[in-house]
Amino acid sequence: MDVALILGLRVTGEPVVLKQDSPISVLEKEYGATIKKRSIKVASLEKRLESLKKVATEDFVRSFLLFTFGVFLFPNDNGTIDSRYLSLMEDLDRVPQFSWGSAVLEDLFNWFYKFKNDKKLTYMGSCLIFLQLWSYEHIDVARPSSLKCNLVFPRSYKWKNSSCRQREWFTPKFNELQGNQIVWKLEPTPEEAKIDIIKNLLEMQNVALEISSTSQYSTSNKDDMDGSIRDEAFRLDKQLIELDVSETDTIEDSVEVQEDNLELPSTPHYSCTNDTAGHEDCVRTKKLLEEQIAKLNKKIDKMKLKKECVLEDQVVKLNMEIDELRIENTTLKNQILSSNKLFDRMEEIVIEGTTSGTLSNVLILNEAADEYLEDQNRATPFCKSI
């Protein structure tokens, strides 16, 4: 509701999804994007707009929308915009049907998460002007005066520019903030409620409330049963997540279990007009849920068993490799000792040799060299394997 009221963007309708594996489109190539670099520089969009002379062609509309995304709605730290947004603009008549407000809010949350967890990050992207206007609407600290404007929607029209202040000024103001200085929830005015974007959102919220109110159990043990089911489902979810499975078959089983687990929230809740009907519906529902929980437990046991088998096989293989390495290590040590003895013997022959014994010494050296070469040949395959 805040995004819709402040920015005037639709928050209902088709979701904005940029598929990672989507093939590059002709439009993207026209704007200079490539398969390896699916982005467009905001500076190039600005030049493109200047060259189009503000003629309202489809090219101008797409370029203007991308430029707006890059500098206002989805700015980032490298001055580019994702070219995959063009896939949502091939049919310009569909553009107003997308939930751009939801996309802006999701992008803002993603930047919050990155900025909080990456201590080296010094730049905050996303639609920060929305965050500023949001603070004006909700918090009476450094709030500028409102403009006298005939436009009632969106609310971003009514605020003047705020005066620049240092952090030192804000800190005590927030420390002394009182409850009456905070607007906890924005409510649309009667005029705003007539705007299609707000009207559709209110209708969707009313439908959600009606569904929630009509899907409650009428029996007294409903809360206890729902609580136990939720606890059991949470326990099973946690157990599935903690299972560290690396084999393909086990991963497939995990996917099946998760798909089965997703059935739990969608289990129908029955409303009834009398205690007997309500009791029978609760019994049927409880039985169905118990069957699904039993199926989940069976899947988990199977996953555990496969995991143990995989680990046992890996341990056996590792032990075999260790034994082979030990044998090869012993062989190498023996070869090194043999080589050292050979060099010592050759040194003695050279030092102690005499003129009369030269021929015999040469023969002995040749024989020693042959032995050394044989040792080297035996060691070569092992050295290569290492």
Q: pLDDT tens digits for 234-271?
A: 566 555 555 544 444 444 444 444 444 444 444 344 34
- Tell me which H or E stretch contains 80: strand 80-82
Angle between helices 248-261 and 222-242 (to 10 degrees): 160
pLDDT of residue 260: 46
What integer pLDDT is reported at residue 113 of this predicted model?
Answer: 94
Residue 374 makes CB contacts below 8 A (sequence gap 6+) with none
The residue ranges of the chain whose pLDDT is under 50 are: 217-220, 244-275, 354-356, 382-383, 386
Q: Taken in order 335, 338, 343, 346, is the CA torsion positive or negative?
A: negative
Would you tell me the crossing angle of helices 128-138 and 100-117 to the nearest 10 degrees? 100
Cβ proximity of 129 and 72 under 8 Å: yes
Q: What pLDDT was estimated at residue 141?
A: 85
Nearest to 134 by CA among 112, 149, 153, 156: 156
Dist CA 93 CA 97 (whole Å)? 8
DSSP code of residue 182: B
pLDDT at 224: 57
Tokens of 43: 């500076």
Q: What is the C-alpha separation between 289 and 128, in angstroms, rounded?
A: 45
The separation between the first and the last C-alpha atoms of the chain, rounded to the nearest angstrom, is 65
pLDDT tens profile 55-74: 789 999 999 999 999 999 99
Q: Which amino acid is at 33?
A: A
| 60, burial (CB in 10 Å: exposed 0-12, middle 13-18, buried 19+) | middle
Query: Residue 373 is which amino acid?
Result: L
**Assessment of whether the complete model's pTM goes beyond 0.75:** no
The confidence score (pLDDT) of residue 219 equals 47
15 cis-preceded (ω within 30 degrees of 0)? no
Q: What pLDDT is attached to residue 222?
A: 53
**Among candidate residues 223, 8, 175, the one with its CA nearest the CA of residue 96:** 8
